[in-house]
Structure 1
């Protein structure tokens, strides 16, 4: 079996992008989303954003193109190979990692299970794994199950339910000399809290542990630099940031090279392909490249590379979403009968709420009848919802996306006021 190191994919600087656009024009951005033509106000972005036309076009064009399994002999083989290389390069620009360190997979959950099964082979009785109550269950249960199978101990880092804050000290309190891994979210998909990742990663690394970060929710809202965040492994999902449904994992080269996942005998042993089971979904990868290219043109000063454009675009997006979120939060805090559970000092534009005299599902239905999509539940943040005292019922969650507008905020506030009016 080959142990040859993975060939590094040459970086792509966003061919065809030219220079980034100037200014954040939400109306022009919305023109690329066919789903918005129906008039619905979408606040369900944390569960998956709407899709721009350029992404759908890329998916369709790939499906009907001359394409086959990857190779270098026929045009169809070369096209498949280029689709994969382009997707790795785009994700590399998005996360500030080398394209050769990008693993492509079925979903963030599936990739985390693969990572947990593989990493836990080096664990034994007495070893410890730290997870947090703030996380989506996809960054809790895989580690709990892997630890149980290895005989290792699981320790939970607790967050403050009143403020929603998870501090490095909360993690440090449960990290010990036998800690092998700290799993933590970059942003809570339920209440939006963004912990201080570099500080948490430092705690993990000082104990000799790896830091595994669920970046699914954060990657849709902030410019990510995996190394700067201190993450050894970072997982995210393109469908949260305008792309198709699949997952990606970025990791430090030394980490990937040291892991030996289950694989078929004839499949390659090079990194990152050794982690990718079966034929990759070329059409979804083409859509992911298109989504990242689209993000890179949202706004910002002129830049010569896609990475520069992405950094500028996320700065402009943050300004746009922060302004709208400020209006939303101010309006919500003026309404009687609403309890807000998103209170951390640093968070994504995501708000979880419950109501004194109304069931969250009833309020959700009232909004849906008025063309406002704001779902309710625990959203798989099982530990988080229970730690907040909300149990399986959870709350009503609203989140902003690149296409959100002031009109959407007005409609939501008016709809909520109607729904909870005595």
Structure 2
């Protein structure tokens, strides 16, 4: 592993506060380079996109750089990258685009593991189209999806399967490729919520075998926005409602109104920052190689994920020392460094307040995970602790010490 944690943390002004942040699943802290990119774009000459003035060309360049960066991050062509205000907004938009030809008698399959942003838009779209909703259940013993229930839910009438690539509360990572292959055999499309997954794994949409993949850059050091990735050829088959004069090109046909150039620049800077975390052998890099950023992302994120795994194990080892006083609900064999717990005889908000007084940020709640909390009958609120690239061993120990004080 080549992760220099001290050097990495020096790029985050928020860390100078002394706070230990375990709220990354809700949004990470931002490196200075991302904020600088936002500010520089807002204060540089900028106009509506065009090819005449330098300000118009600046806007074109920002958009092109954004699409190229997320093509490298997500493994699709640049014209398969769609910007949105959030993953929720993109999912609502595409639920409308996709349901135009749904009819009574059609079916969709949703997951009990998912954040409500990948549930409610589809449930509401199904109600409008009078389409039947079927469910993939959760195995309470393992906190993993019950694939038997998934196979029973699929049929020749299934139009779409919507599933998370990683649970935002339990960390569970379902076997997305297997789910996608079974869906495609049934003739269904696959829409994946990758918001939590993209923060902890290098994404390859083609390898995952899915049709549409959505994520949120603010979960991995970027600004607040959403990104959807898909094959351009597939996007070309969708006809969204749009203004007559607006572009009908893919992916512009799915982006309504003037794009927020400053957010695009910040999101691009986040990808470049991720790619530079583990520089590796700089002398071996060819600046003209178009695949270079993807290679740097692969190397850097491998180092980040090894660090996050180590911090998760340190946290889980410490939690195991509390015995029955702490119940860990994150127990899937394949999972992210996010841990959900409940405390015997204690309200999780009491723990949140106690830790905050010790400069440890660990939120309590249900985190829009309506279906998992209901399916597993989890107490609401529960305490969620998420490891981020900048988390230190000392911060994990401070969190554990704070819990020990509370429980004693």
Same fold per superposition (TM over 0.5): yes
| SS in structure 2 at match of 1:66 | coil
- C-alpha separation between the residues in 2 aligned to 1:390 and 1:418? 24
Determine the structure 2 residue equivalent to 1:38: 17
Contact kept? 1:55, 1:290, Cα under 8 Å: yes
Is the counterpart of residue 84 in structure 1 residue 84 in structure 2? no
**Displacement after TM superposition at 1:161 (Å):** 2.1
Unmatched tracts of structure 2, length 5 or more: 287-291
Determine the structure 2 residue equivalent to 1:172: 151
- C-alpha separation between the residues in 2 aligned to 1:254 and 1:209? 17
From 329, 336, 360, the equivalent of 1:341 is 329
Determine the structure 1 residue equivalent to 2:289: none
Contact kept? 2:349, 2:364, Cα under 8 Å: yes
Determine the structure 1 residue equivalent to 2:98: 119
Is the counterpart of residue 411 in structure 1 residue 398 in structure 2? yes
Determine the structure 1 residue equivalent to 2:340: 352
- C-alpha separation between the residues in 2 aligned to 1:74 and 1:300? 37
CA change 1:69–1:211 in 2 (3 A) is: same
- C-alpha separation between the residues in 2 aligned to 1:200 and 1:168? 8
- C-alpha separation between the residues in 1 aligned to 2:335 and 2:148? 19
From 362, 369, 374, the equivalent of 1:386 is 374
Determine the structure 1 residue equivalent to 2:301: 314
**Displacement after TM superposition at 1:162 (Å):** 2.4
Contact kept? 2:135, 2:149, Cα under 8 Å: no
CA change 1:170–1:318 in 2 (3 A) is: farther
**Displacement after TM superposition at 1:170 (Å):** 3.3
| SS in structure 2 at match of 1:114 | helix
Determine the structure 1 residue equivalent to 2:354: 366
**C-alpha offsets along residues 48-67 of structure 1, whole Å, 9 cap, x if unaligned?**
00000000000000010000
| SS in structure 2 at match of 1:182 | strand
Q: Map 1:228-267 onto structure 2 (within 5 A).
A: 228-267=207-246
Contact kept? 1:190, 1:350, Cα under 8 Å: yes
- C-alpha separation between the residues in 2 aligned to 1:394 and 1:153? 31
* TM-score using structure 1 length: 0.93
- C-alpha separation between the residues in 2 aligned to 1:262 and 1:364? 44
From 386, 393, 404, the equivalent of 1:399 is 386
**Displacement after TM superposition at 1:77 (Å):** 0.3
From 189, 197, 208, the equivalent of 1:210 is 189
**C-alpha offsets along residues 186-213 of structure 1, whole Å, 9 cap, x if unaligned?**
0000100000110000110000000100
- C-alpha separation between the residues in 2 aligned to 1:394 and 1:101? 38
**Displacement after TM superposition at 1:300 (Å):** 5.7
- C-alpha separation between the residues in 2 aligned to 1:175 and 1:395? 32
| SS in structure 1 at match of 2:108 | strand
From 269, 283, 287, the equivalent of 2:266 is 287
**C-alpha offsets along residues 130-150 of structure 1, whole Å, 9 cap, x if unaligned?**
010000000000000111100
**Displacement after TM superposition at 1:167 (Å):** 4.5
- C-alpha separation between the residues in 1 aligned to 2:173 and 2:146? 10
- C-alpha separation between the residues in 1 aligned to 2:370 and 2:264? 30
- C-alpha separation between the residues in 1 aligned to 2:252 and 2:120? 25
**C-alpha offsets along residues 93-119 of structure 1, whole Å, 9 cap, x if unaligned?**
000111110000110000000110110
- Could you tell which deviates more after superposition, 56-65 or 169-178? 169-178
- C-alpha separation between the residues in 2 aligned to 1:35 and 1:330? 28
**Displacement after TM superposition at 1:387 (Å):** 1.2
- Could you tell which deviates more after superposition, 158-167 or 59-68? 158-167
| SS in structure 1 at match of 2:144 | coil
Is the counterpart of residue 152 in structure 1 residue 139 in structure 2? no
RMSD: 1.1
- C-alpha separation between the residues in 1 aligned to 2:68 and 2:23? 28
Determine the structure 1 residue equivalent to 2:310: 323
Structure 1 stretches of at least 4 aligned residues deviating more than 4 Å after TM superposition: none
- C-alpha separation between the residues in 2 aligned to 1:63 and 1:83? 11
Q: Map 1:39-118 onto structure 2 (within 5 A).
A: 39-118=18-97
